[in-house]
Amino acid sequence: MSATDDNTGEEPGGDLCIRTLAMPADTNANGDIFGGWLLSQMDVGGGVFASKVAKSRVVTVAIEAMNFRKAVYVGDLVSVHANLVRTGRTSMTVHLEAWVVRRRETRPILVTDGNFTYVSIDDDGRPRVIPKDEAPVQA
């Protein structure tokens, strides 16, 4: 399959949160990258983004609408991009996309996306209000 056949025709958008290389230790029984590993990378990246928005610690409280579109292979360069969907009083919803660049290819491929909900917390682990002046303007 060529890069054109495998590409959605889109480019990554939003804030780049994390970039990592898929390694052999991250594979499932079929030799592809384990979906749980990819989900955890997305959660780490989303947590970085949400923490910047809230200017505090955050915790993941929900993951919804996950779409596993394409397999991830050993050697793929994985990038997670975030867009703010909604900001509430103490929580926010972030749309995360995982894109890969495969070896010997240059075009990014969307492999997974979904919505993650984070809650801003204080140092004691209690929900913390996200001040409106700290939340970025939503598109």
Residue 100 domain-assigned (yes or no): yes
pLDDT averaged per 10 residues, the chain (length 139)? 47 96 96 96 98 97 95 97 97 98 95 98 97 57
Structure tokens at 139: 């598109």
User: What size, in residues, is the chain?
Assistant: 139
Are 77 and 21 in contact by the 8 Å Cβ rule? The answer is yes
Residue 132 domain-assigned (yes or no): no
pLDDT value at residue 136: 52
Residue 136 domain-assigned (yes or no): no
The count of domains in the chain is 1
Residue 25 domain-assigned (yes or no): yes
Pairing outcome for strands 109-121 and 91-101? antiparallel
Are 46 and 119 in contact by the 8 Å Cβ rule? The answer is no
Q: What is the pTM of this model?
A: 0.87
Residue 65 one-letter amino acid: A
Structure tokens at 122: 């204080």
